[in-house]
Structure formats: structure tokens, C-alpha cells
Amino acid sequence: MGMSRLNVFALIIDQFRFLRHVGTGKAAVFVRIFLVAVGPVAGAISVWLGWQLNSVSELAAALGLLAGVFISAFALVFSLRLTLASRPTSNLRQRASRLMDESALTLLTAGLVAGADAIWVTVVSAANAPDTPVSVWPTAITVGLSALVAAYFLLAVRRLHVLYVDTFPPFWKVQQLAGGLGTAIEMEEAARRVSTRTGHQ
């Protein structure tokens, strides 16, 4: 039981289970398959093409910084989630809560993957002789992990984008929903209509 504190796979499994369509609650099968396949596919392509990195020391620093950014963004989303949880519930806020939950877990998982990639690259850099290209297999693992980091980055940004435009609909969507006549409608009602139209995202 003591080792459960180090079980990072629990985080990955939780994040994986949160990959659902917000409007229907159905599993986002394509996204799940993509996340499972992107690392191995990128690594296989690297091996097939015989890629060899000249240096990975700069990559280690960049990945470490990126991991910190992901975790800082998670802390911000988490604090906003606590604020939302203390308010009266509505359909719009429930949708926003689900988006925040998925965004927070995605950011935290992205931080984990980026940190793991940074540790791996640091070990490779330390074990590799100076001025010597990294061999094919360590390069392939680095490429696979980095592809997964990029995928999580894009996934987190997209979730945050959907959360923002659902909560604060852009003026052109409000105008469309108001019939294009400039009719003023309540912001929450506009957001509710936008979320209805984008329920499968």
C-alpha cells in the first residue's frame, strides 16, 4: 500500500476515463486510440527512418520547463474548479465543471509525461559520450515520448478553448443565436445555447 503514493498510472487511467464527449457522456474513442498510438507510432517511424539526435541536453531543459508550466496551469484550473463548486448548480455550470475536470487531469498528465520525458532525456544525455550522436533506439524513445507530450499539450489547449467559449460565447455566436438582429440575450442563456450546439466536442 505504501507504494501507491508512487503509482502514477492511476492518474493516467483517471485522465483516460475522463476523455468523453461533454454533451453525451460517451467515450471519445478516437481520442483514446490516438493517445495510445501516437507514442509507439512516432517511435516506430523514428526507428524506420534511422533518426539520431545530435544532442538532447537542450531538450531536457525545455521539457523540464514545460512540465512546470503544465503543473502551474493545473493549479490555476483547480482553484477555479473549487470556486465553481461553491456556487449554485446549473446545466451550464455542470458542463463547465466537467470541462474543468478533464482540463485539469489532462494538464496534470501532460506535466507527468513531460517530466518523465525530461528525466529520460537527462539520463540519455549523461550516458551519451560528448559530440556523439544518440543511437537509434534512445532517439526513438525520445521521439515517442515527445510526440505524446505534444499530443497532451494540444488536447489541453483545445479543452480550455471549449471551456472558455462555452462560458463566454464570442460576440458572433451570440449574434447568430439572437437571430442576427442585435437582440440582447442573457450571457448564461447564450452560453447554454452554444454548449447545446457544441455538445459533441
Mean per-residue pLDDT, 80-109: 74
28 touches 86 (CB < 8 A)? no
Contacts of 77 (CB under 8 A, 6+ apart): 100, 103, 104, 107, 160
> pLDDT tens digit string along 148-185?
999 998 988 888 888 777 777 776 666 665 554 444 44
For the CA atoms of 43, 38, 153, 67, what is the dihedral angle to 10 degrees?
Answer: -40
pTM of the full predicted structure? 0.77
> pLDDT tens digit string along 36-84?
999 999 999 999 999 988 878 778 888 888 888 888 888 888 887 777 6
> To which H or E segment does residue 173 belong?
helix 171-177
Segments making up each domain of the chain, as ranges: 7-167, 168-201
Phi-psi region at 36: left, alpha or beta (left = phi > 0; alpha = psi -120 to 50): alpha
